């Protein structure tokens, strides 16, 4: 098989890789994209195939089912229905249909922009070439620029290797039935998103977290409404607790909890959601002279590695492991290869937790701003005073704004509440554009919308709130 030469070789077809390929194609560059597929992979990577998209589909289905049950029992709107049932196999089929539609769309976009796709496992041979094991035999690809976008993998626990009843988030999204009892190890965003979803689907959920709080990456003020909701759903949370392994018969999780000793948690499935790690093995990284930083590939502000014309983007480069970060990095790298002057500015990357209620953060929390030595103004506006939240019958939560005290420059925005993920773009834009409290307060926000809480929080920080 003849060697392939190109201007750009991209290894990995996840959000970072395929966006880099599309943008490079738009800029007229000759691009080859290698995607291994298999194990839930394929174009779109973990995010599209077994992560962001399918998890949000399951979360939505779980919420619809849970609301239907509430209508059958309480009927707060006067809507009366018979007790609903759910065919989870059809739910999974529906989820798979969404994934198929989107992966097909990615393939069409790559084709439109003249990106050559090679399916198979890439093995880097040096900083300019790789060997791909395809269905039709080995293929060598050589390029002037190499973009590494191999993503991440679920982190396993030595005492709980994946297999059998022990599953990762990928397997949790394709179960053949709803488990009667689900144990979840890890109370970060993945564990909580899926734990809450399965609680709504009818599972008895127990969450095990080694630290002293759930969602340890978020400040306590934002987490509090989520904790209340979990209690209402009957989710049991064990903090300062470590998973010690399975019982001898494999039907229970053994947990050592500080102050309580060993506990046995009966379960039908055990979801290990203790985070993800950069995919550093399986594609010949050891043959490249790359500098690593805490088990991730080290990059500079241009996403350049320690090797000339070798770039790295996305989860491979460490935290924050977010699809939108990878996409933004992919654009930056493609434009640099095309000769543009670009750097990756990570000042405003929204983080979203699709729990119930949802959490959004961008920029600094009040405590982080104070620790940085800032004198600040901060205020929040509760959804209990927001008309749109009341009409959604979901008014728990708030929007919080943090700004400099001297010039009112917005330093950070946080929110917890119904559908606040959809506010993340306006939050990010405010920081990106260098907004001040007066800019947000002077912007007309449509009524009735959840976004009005952003407006009112900014006014409240100025001492000018109108509706509280």
Distance CA 460, CA 437 (A): 10
Contact, 233 vs 262, CB < 8 A?
A: no
- What is the residue whose two structure tokens read 């069409």? 108
For the question of residue 447 being annotated catalytic, the response is yes
Among 60, 447, 455, 467, the one annotated catalytic: 447
Of 334, 302, 2, which is closest to residue 146 (Cα–Cα)? 334
Active site residues: 447
């Amino acid at each position: 098989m003849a060697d392939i030469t190109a201007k750009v070789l991209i290894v990995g077809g996840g959000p970072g890789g395929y966006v880099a390929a599309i943008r490079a194609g738009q800029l007229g560059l000759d691009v080859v994209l290698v995607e291994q597929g298999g194990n839930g992979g394929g174009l779109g990577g973990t995010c599209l195939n077994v992560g962001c998209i399918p998890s949000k589909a399951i979360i939505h289905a779980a919420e619809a089912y849970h609301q239907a049950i509430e209508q059958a029992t309480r009927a707060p709107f006067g809507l009366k229905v018979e007790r609903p049932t759910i065919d989870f196999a059809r739910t999974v089929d529906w989820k798979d249909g969404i994934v198929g539609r989107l992966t097909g769309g990615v393939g069409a976009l790559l084709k439109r922009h003249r990106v050559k796709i090679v399916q198979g496992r890439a093995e880097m041979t040096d900083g300019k070439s790789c060997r791909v094991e395809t269905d039709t035999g080995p293929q060598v690809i050589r390029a002037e620029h190499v973009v590494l976008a191999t993503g991440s993998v679920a982190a396993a626990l030595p005492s709980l290797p994946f297999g059998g009843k022990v599953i990762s988030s990928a397997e949790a999204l394709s179960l053949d039935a709803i488990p009667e009892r689900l144990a979840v190890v890890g109370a970060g965003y993945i564990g909580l998103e899926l734990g809450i979803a399965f609680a709504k689907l009818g599972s008895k959920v127990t969450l095990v977290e080694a630290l002293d709080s759930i969602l340890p990456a978020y400040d306590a003020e934002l987490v509090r409404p989520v904790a209340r909701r979990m209690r209402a759903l009957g989710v049991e949370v064990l903090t300062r607790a470590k998973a010690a392994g399975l019982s001898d018969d494999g039907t229970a999780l053994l947990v050592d909890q500080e102050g309580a000793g060993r506990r046995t948690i009966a379960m039908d499935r055990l979801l290990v959601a203790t985070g993800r790690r950069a995919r550093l093995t399986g594609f010949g990284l050891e043959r490249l002279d790359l500098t690593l930083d805490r088990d991730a590939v080290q990059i500079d502000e241009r996403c350049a590695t320690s090797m000339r014309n070798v770039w790295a983007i996305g989860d491979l480069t460490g935290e924050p492991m977010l699809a939108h970060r990878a996409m933004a990095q992919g654009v930056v790298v493609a434009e640099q290869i095309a000769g543009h002057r670009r750097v990756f500015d990570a000042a405003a990357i929204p983080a979203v937790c699709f729990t119930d209620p949802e959490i959004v953060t961008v920029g600094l929390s009040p405590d982080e701003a104070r620790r940085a030595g800032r004198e600040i103004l901060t205020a929040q506006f509760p959804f209990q005073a927001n008309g749109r939240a009341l009409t959604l019958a979901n008014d728990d939560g708030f929007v919080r704004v943090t700004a400099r005290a001297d010039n009112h420059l917005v330093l950070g925005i946080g929110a917890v509440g119904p559908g606040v993920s959809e506010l993340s773009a306006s939050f990010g834009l405010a920081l990106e554009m260098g907004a001040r409290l007066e800019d947000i307060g002077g912007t007309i926000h449509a009524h009735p919308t959840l976004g009005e809480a952003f407006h009112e929080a900014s006014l409240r920080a100025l001492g000018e709130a109108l509706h509280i």
